[in-house]
Amino acid sequence: MSSHPSASGVTVWLTGLPSAGKSTIAGALAGLLRRDGREVEVLDGDEVRAHLSPDLGFAKEDRNENVRRIGWLAERLAAHGVAVLIPVIAPYADGRDLVRRRHTDRGLRYFEVHVDTPVEVCAARDPKGLYARQARGELRGLTGVDDPYEIPTNPDLRMDTSRRCAQDCARDIQAALFGGTPR
């Protein structure tokens, strides 16, 4: 018999600049965890914005409110044993810290990954063309360029994706979370 489901629940927040690799790594990690028989939910930034926070913009208050809502939902899922993966920029330390505190206050496991890809590498990748649009003056408020990104001071894991492939990054997170032991 498995232990109480909440024992395996965890929220994994992948924070970092646009194009850092958050979504790609979350997708790879989801595959690894599902193969281990875990329940996984991915709350990706773009989808969440469309479904949970269509009313919000990109000012500090709005970005933090978006983070707070995602964190609230993650708590509920993690309490039922789900591994909740959240590839969302979350640029402000106070917004991230609030989500951590709410989890730990309820005895829920919380794990912050700083996807620490240098901005030059992010701008060269630019799969969505955001950096190019910012450079052409068509977009303002791009995190890490002309909008703040507060670097996490004490993440549970920090990774520079310019040196490793997404699959390896996902494996590193899996090992840090569960020590490689299948469920």
d(CA 78, CA 40): 10
Please select the residue that binds ligand ADP; options are 10, 25, 90, 123, rule is CB under 6 A.
Answer: 25
Which span sits near ligand ADP by CB under 6 A: 69-77, 92-100, 105-113, 163-171? 163-171
d(CA 105, CA 42): 23
Please select the residue that binds ligand ADP; options are 8, 134, 143, 161, rule is CB under 6 A.
Answer: 161
Q: How many CB atoms lie within 10 A of CB 135?
A: 13
Please select the residue that binds Mg ion; options are 15, 23, 161, 174, rule is CB under 5 A.
Answer: 23
Q: How many CB atoms lie within 10 A of CB 157?
A: 19
Beta-ladder partners of 157:
113
24 near ligand ADP, rule: CB under 6 A: yes
Which span sits near Mg ion by CB under 5 A: 17-25, 35-43, 108-116, 172-180? 17-25
d(CA 141, CA 37): 40
d(CA 81, CA 138): 43
**Nearest approach, Cβ of 16 to ligand ADP (angstroms)?**
6
| Count of positions on this chain that bind ligand ADP (CB under 6 A) | 17
Give the residue nearest to ligand ADP (CB). Answer: 21
38 near ligand ADP, rule: CB under 6 A: no
Exposed/middle/buried for residue 58 (C-beta within 10 Å: 0-12, 13-18, 19+)? middle
169 near ligand ADP, rule: CB under 6 A: yes
d(CA 31, CA 26): 9
Can you give the binding site for Mg ion, defined by CB under 5 A? 22-23, 87
Can you give the binding site for ligand ADP, defined by CB under 6 A? 16, 18-25, 87, 125, 127, 161, 164-166, 169
